[in-house]
Structure 1
Amino acid sequence: MSAWLGHALPPMHSDSKMRRSIRGNIVRMSLPTVRAGRFQSAVWLLLAALCVSGCQRTETAPALPGAEAEPAAAMQAMTLPLRRNDLVAYARIRVTPAQYTQLEAAWRSGTSRWPLTELPLPNEVGALLGSLSAPDAERRMQQAFDAQLAGQAQGIAQAAQSLGQFGVQYLRSRNDYQPEQRAHYVQLVDALSAWAATAPLADRPRAKASIADLVTAARATGITSDADLQRLGMEESLRRLGPFWATCKKVLERYDLSIDTSLDALRTGLIKQDADTAQVRLRYPLATHHIDLTVALIKRDGHWYRLQTQSEVQALLDAAQAAAPLPDATAVPDPAAAAPTDTGQRPAGR
């Protein structure tokens, strides 16, 4: 759920001991014994996306204080494109029109794959789709599942619990996160590890149906490599990936987990506003837990954006600019290209 809102969990890359410990737990679950990773990415999508994105149904909760305030309404609107499977609108609503133009150029130059990095998908989406689109993908994936995961519910549960403990320990050992950021990540790890420990991830009939759905959806994109993503450009790639995202949500539904229901249940409220900055409270259900966090927003050109997304995107664009000149961020974009897809957002927020 966090990744849908641009709060993806940080990669655990700076602690090799922790990384080896986590890898050891996964090895005991036997997943990496699939040959040389050719179909490892596809298995990742089937299984890891379940663990990263699981959200269960929840009863309607009362609105948070300040829900009607402009910043809170803007934050709520940022989730609507994911509900509608419109990844183009998702990208447009999170950045300024000038940034969007620059991000398209950075995508074509190969220096950016934003906003895919904000979604619960593997980093190498092109390679994943290529694996899923291979002629024998369905057979190979089913064989891998049968050999490594079918009937291994106890081992998966133990691995999920261990990974949760390692994840929380890792996050608490880091001193480069703000307290609110660390508290949010710990909530996510606790909720997801508890869910994964009881989820039917080893169920063969569910896996067979899910593999078939994912293979069909991947082939429909016409994307089989990162080169295809670069050739198509950001907007066309996102347009083609929208139905694939919808299929991923369908797979989660098969496991009695509904992203759409969780998006529908997400609530926002205003904590405080000071001119063009604001803090918004955001609550959403995740498995049997409720995640509660504070999000900083900034107003630019009359529209509200998430501050962390703005900072990360600008850093990405600065790096891309250093590698190769991008369109001037102050230039007025082409109206046809910059007009946002209808997201249902209120006129005042973005």
Structure 2
Amino acid sequence: MSKPRLSLQRSGLAALPLLAVLAIGACKREPAELAGAASEPAAAVRQLAHHVRANDLVGFARAAVPPAQYAQLEIAWRENRSRWPLTELPLEDKLAPMLAVLAAKDSERRLGRQFDSQFARQDRDLKAAARSLGLFGVQYVKNEGNYTTEERDHYAQIIRALGEWAEEAPLGDPQHADVTITRLAAAARKTGLTSEQDLAAAGMEGSLRRLSPFFAEAKAVLDNYGLPLDASLADLRTGLVEQKGDKATVRIHYPLAGQEIDTVASLELRDGHWYLSDYLRHVEQVLAAPAPVIPAVAELPANPAPPAR
């Protein structure tokens, strides 16, 4: 009687790999493409997402605006009149000071002490702050600021999703903080960009090239906190809603922090290529600015003595 039992066991074991493949296939399905995914406007948006996922900030900037504007932006950057495309990020005017703080000598110890005294294990307060900031942020982009209707809808969805993520993320965990500070400090030092003078001297393309590894490290840190931005970009889908002449509307759908972001964006055809209308508008505003919008010299205040652990 033992032989049939052994035969049955062997047959069951042999079937395990097949069952595993079937189970994986049943649990993870590729999202269906949106209507009009093969259109040029929809492909243009996916190309931008591809550059961001690849940490190719130079490639993103080149694909986001026509060549003539790109050349003008390089000049404006060196003249401290522009920091585009960094201005598409929140708190872009704090980038150089942040890099300076992270790159400073012994920043790991000083920032670690500051975290311990202000945030360590303050999970309840941090969750409450995240909730409040999320609510305020959604209301702000819906009613204030110089945003298009498309931007207001998109940003509100992003802020809502990030607010819910922040309420669950281990923001007060000292071990996570130590890893984050160590990684970002090392990456900041490698950029060699710790002032507005450094950014101007490196130029737009040079600065973006040197910032790309730091950008990659920042994404990796967020992944460690449960916010995998590369996974969101990998699952981004686009489709064509409407195309009339040199104008098009594209639907954009991607997951973010457990939420499904679903929005639309307008594009314009320039010299045979499609570009996001919002980016074109932002760049035109930057280039039309009559005076420098970024100070040539930015002095950082002296760091106060950190409290003792």
**Range class of TM-score, shorter chain:** 0.7 to 0.9
Distance between the aligned counterparts of 1:178 and 1:118, measured in 2?
Answer: 14
Provide structure 1 residue ranges, at least 5 long, that are not aligned to the other structure.
Answer: 1-57, 325-350
Match of 1:36 in 2: none
State the Cα distance separating 1:118 from its structure 2 match: 1.5
Match of 1:160 in 2: 130
Consecutive aligned runs of 4 or more in structure 1 exceeding 6 Å deviation = none
Could you tell me which amino acid in structure 2 is paired with residue 166 of structure 1?
A: F
RMSD, matched Cα: 1.8
State the Cα distance separating 1:147 from its structure 2 match: 0.5
State the Cα distance separating 1:136 from its structure 2 match: 1.7
> Does residue 294 of the first structure (1) align with residue 259 of the second (2)?
no
Aligned residue among 118, 130, 155 for 1:148? 118
SS at match of 2:255: strand
Name the TM-score, length of structure 2 as normaliser: 0.81
State the Cα distance separating 1:164 from its structure 2 match: 2.0
Match of 1:92 in 2: 62
Identity of aligned residues (%): 49
State the Cα distance separating 1:132 from its structure 2 match: 0.8
Larger radius of gyration: 2
State the Cα distance separating 1:187 from its structure 2 match: 1.7
State the Cα distance separating 1:210 from its structure 2 match: 0.9
Could you tell me which amino acid in structure 2 is paired with residue 219 of structure 1?
A: R
Does the Cα contact within 8 Å between 1:281 and 1:293 map onto a contact in 2? yes
Could you tell me which amino acid in structure 2 is paired with residue 154 of structure 1?
A: R
> Does residue 246 of the first structure (1) align with residue 216 of the second (2)?
yes
Does the Cα contact within 8 Å between 1:130 and 1:225 map onto a contact in 2? yes
> Does residue 209 of the first structure (1) align with residue 209 of the second (2)?
no
SS at match of 1:78: helix
State the Cα distance separating 1:119 from its structure 2 match: 3.1
Match of 1:237 in 2: 207
Distance between the aligned counterparts of 2:285 and 2:44, measured in 1?
Answer: 23
Aligned residues: 265
Distance between the aligned counterparts of 1:189 and 1:323, measured in 2?
Answer: 32
User: Which gives a bigger RCO, structure 1 or 2 (Cα 8 Å, sep 6+)?
Assistant: 1
Name the TM-score, length of structure 1 as normaliser: 0.72
String of CA shifts for 1:174-231, please: whole Å, max 9, x gaps. Answer: 4965544433232222212111111111111111011100000000111121110011
Could you tell me which amino acid in structure 2 is paired with residue 288 of structure 1?
A: G
String of CA shifts for 1:236-259, please: whole Å, max 9, x gaps. Answer: 111100111111011112113211
Distance between the aligned counterparts of 1:190 and 1:242, measured in 2?
Answer: 27
Provide structure 2 residue ranges, at least 5 long, that are not aligned to the other structure.
Answer: 1-27, 293-309
Does the Cα contact within 8 Å between 2:108 and 2:181 map onto a contact in 1? yes
List aligned pairs for 1:44-55, cutoff 5 A.
none
Does the Cα contact within 8 Å between 1:71 and 1:280 map onto a contact in 2? yes
